[in-house]
Structure 1
Amino acid sequence: MRLKTFNTGEMASGGRRLALVFSLAVALGGCDTLSSMNPFDKPEVYKPEVLPTVPADKLYNEGLARMQNGDSEGATKKFEEIDKQAPFSPYSRKGLILTAYTNYQASKWDDAITASKRFLAQNPASPDAAYAQYIMAMSYFNQIPDATRDQERTEQALRAMQELLDRYPRSEYVVDVREKMLVARDQLAGKEMNVGRFYLEKRNYPGAVNRFRDVITKYQTTRHVEEALMRLTEAYMALGITNEAQTAAAVLGHNFPDSPWYKDAYVLLESGGLQPREDRGSYISRLFNGFSRTVTGLIR
């Protein structure tokens, strides 16, 4: 069999034809690719999965069930879901107050405060408003630090408790709030005493006087008032203001005659050749005019 032969010209011409055909094929393929990327084509629209809405009453009952089983966190999620899915339903208000409660039960104090404030803003005339105020106040109260640290939370607790007394004076929470206010005020007095003692040690007597004066002015019914009067005697003696030193000791002896702090104040004055003597014109004397340790301690 004879093999077909190609001359050089034919081979070159054939090569050019193959190259042309290949180029056209690539071009056509490219056109197909470009046509699939037409910018005017509509992009595929993402369709999120729509979950079925759970009725508010069912969420509420599920939240109650979890709360009764001690699952405060799970109950909170159910009550919060009511607000998202049915914010205007009758169950939304109930869910919000229970959100505050379950957060409180879980020791999530700040979340309980937030929910309580929101409830009060939306339902100021609700029968549950006093309870929301109480949850908020107790959430602050449970964050009170020791007397060596910043007392912002203590002050917030006092304001919240005082607001409860002012707005809801006949609520069932009044007795408990009054007792806890005494604890909070005692804590604030303790903070002032710590700073005052520090100033005494550093011989900053004017600074010490200011702190102890705050105690006898703002926190008369706390357990710190006796020591504050004795420390005032000490600071005023160091400053040479003997009439105030004598008055502080005299007021201490008059109101707390059996106090060991009075004995210390008496010995201190006696070492300087002085005796307790009340100056009726002194601010210390005026502060304790009609003083009674049985006062509830709610002076604002």
Structure 2
Amino acid sequence: MYKILPRILVSALLFSLMVGCASTGTSNDETKDWSADKLFSEAKARQASKDYKKSVEYFERLEARYPYGKYAQQAQLEIAYNNYKYEEPALALASLDRFMKQNPTHPSLDYAMYLKGLVTFNESQGFLSALAKQDMSERDPKAAKESFNSFRELVTRFPDSKYSKDAQLRMGYLIGALANYELHVGRYYYKRGAYLAAANRGKALIDNYSNTKQVEGALALMYQAYDKLGMTDLRDDAKRVLLKNYPDSNALEKQISDDAYWWAPI
């Protein structure tokens, strides 16, 4: 009995501590008695004051406590927006994908698509700012392509959406950016003597981004790359197409090292 008693006392003490910790944690939750309306309004207030982290906490509690309430679906969108503003793109995209999967006919589906495009659009800016760095062959324009695809889905499915006009403007920017990427990579290959790879990049630009101003540079790149390879027929074809479409072009007189020409503005 003497040996058992301390164990009982220890167990009782541990239980007391656990209960104390649990009650302390509950008492520290200022939202424990809040209604759905109050949680939503407080979360929006935090969002308005740019306290996105706290706003996410409130919206997550709202969604967990009232999963079938009138605010549950909106909370998912608000969480995605907050994470977008708080520069947590992976969390924002996860929330948006979950929302779109669970609510394929929701009235705010166009907004979800638009926001998804914005999240990846912002990510693509890091890719674009890195274009001047040395090893362009290892850069990945995945975010820019995903952003373009999200905006394209929006304007295709919801052409009358209030977000479609801005989405179209951003699509135009992204097309120019992706064309610039192809031209820049082609230039990278050319300067390192990989002339066939350079010519292929120029051809890919023309095939995929034929309505951009970078086509002129792509044709000039192909001309010079084919010339280095001794592929005279393809070289002359590139020159013929260039002069037919850009009769006043002086691109053939430019050198690959001329950054002012090859790094064309978007």
TM-score for the superposition, normalised by structure 1: 0.69
Matched AA of 1:153: A
Distance 1:115 1:238, change over 3 A: same
Q: C-alpha distance in 2, partners of 1:231/1:54? A: 65
Do the aligned residues in 2 keep the contact of 1:253 with 1:262 (CA within 8 Å)?
no
Residue 202 of structure 1: how far off its partner (Å): 2.9
1:93 maps onto 2:83 in alignment: no
Query: 1:79 matched to which residue of 2?
Result: 59
Q: How far off is 1:92 after superposition?
A: 1.0
Are 2:41 and 1:58 equivalent residues in the alignment? Answer: no
What code does the residue aligned with 2:188 have? F
**1:206 alignment counterpart:** 196
Cα deviation per residue 1:78-111 (whole Å; 9 max; x = unaligned)?
2121112211211111211112222223333332
**Corresponding residue for residue 137 of structure 1:** 117
1:240 maps to what in 2? 230
Counterpart of 2:108 in structure 1 is: 128
The answer to whether structure 1 residue 150 and structure 2 residue 130 are counterparts is no
> How far apart are 1:264 and its partner, in Å?
5.2
Which ranges of structure 1 fall in alignment gaps of 5 or more residues?
A: 1-30, 266-300
Which residue identity is paired with 1:132?
Answer: A
1:175 aligns with 2:165: yes
Separation (CA, whole Å) in 1 of partners of 2:93 and 2:35: 27
The total of aligned residue pairs comes to 233
Q: Distance in 1 between matches of 2:67 and 2:170?
A: 35
Structure (1/2) with the larger helix percentage: 2
1:221 CA displacement: 2.0
TM-score normalised by the chain length of structure 2: 0.77
| Structure 2 equivalent of residue 218 of structure 1 | 208
Distance 1:263 1:201 in 2: 17
Q: Which amino acid aligns with 1:213?
A: K
State the AA in 1 paired with 2:3: L
Query: Aligned ranges for residues 182-193 of structure 1 at < 5 Å?
Result: 182-193=172-183
Amino acid at match of 1:141: F
Deviations 1:59-80 (A, max 9, x none): 0011122223333333222212
The CA RMSD measured in Å over matched residues stands at: 2.5
Change (3 A) 1:178 1:38: closer
Indicate conservation of the 8 Å contact 1:193/1:215, yes or no.
yes
Specify the structure having the higher radius of gyration (Cα). 1
Is contact 1:182–1:222 with CA below 8 Å preserved after alignment? no
Offset at residue 217 of structure 1 (A): 0.6
Cα distance in 1, alignment partners of residues 83 and 59 from structure 2: 11
Aligned positions of 1:261-272 closer than 5 A = 261=251
CA contact (8 A) 1:158 1:184 kept: yes
Identity of aligned residues (%): 29
